[in-house]
Structure 1
Amino acid sequence: MGVIVEVFFWAAVFLGTAALLFCSVYALILFSDLTVDHINPIELCELINRLVIPEYVGHILLSLLILLRGYFIPAILNVPLIAFHVWRYKERRHLLDNTSIFNQVEKERNISQLKLAHHMLMFFIYLYFFILALVSD
Structure 2
Amino acid sequence: MAWDPILWIVFSIMNITLLGLNFYQFLGFSDLEADYLNPYELSSRVNSVIVPEYLLQGAFCILFLVTGHWFMFLLSLPPAYYNLTRYLSQQHRIDVTEVFRVLNAEKKTRIIKLGVYIVFFGLVITRTVCAGTFSAMLSFLFPNNEELDFRTSVLEF
- TM-score, with structure 2 as normaliser: 0.84
How many residue pairs match? The answer is 135
Match of 1:110 among 108, 111, 118: 108
Task: Work out the percentage of aligned pairs sharing the same amino acid.
Answer: 24
Shift of 1:96: 0.4
TM-fit CA distance, 1:62: 1.4
1:40-51 → structure 2 map (5 Å cutoff): 40-51=38-49
Higher fraction of helix: 1
Q: Secondary structure at the match of 1:103?
A: coil
Aligned mate of 2:120, from 113, 122, 133: 122
SS at match of 2:101: helix
The answer to whether structure 1 residue 38 and structure 2 residue 36 are counterparts is yes
Q: CA RMSD in A?
A: 0.8
Runs of 4+ residues deviating >4 angstroms: none
The higher-RCO structure (CA 8 Å, 6+ apart) is 1
TM alignment of 1:1-137, pairs within 5 A: 2-3=1-2, 5-136=3-134, 137=138
Separation in 2, partners of 1:88, 1:62 = 18
Unaligned runs of 5+ in 1: none
Q: Structure 2: where are the runs of 5+ without partners?
A: 139-157
Shift of 1:66: 1.4
Amino acid at match of 2:25: A
Q: Distance in 2 between matches of 1:113 and 1:84?
A: 15
Structure with higher Rg: it is 2
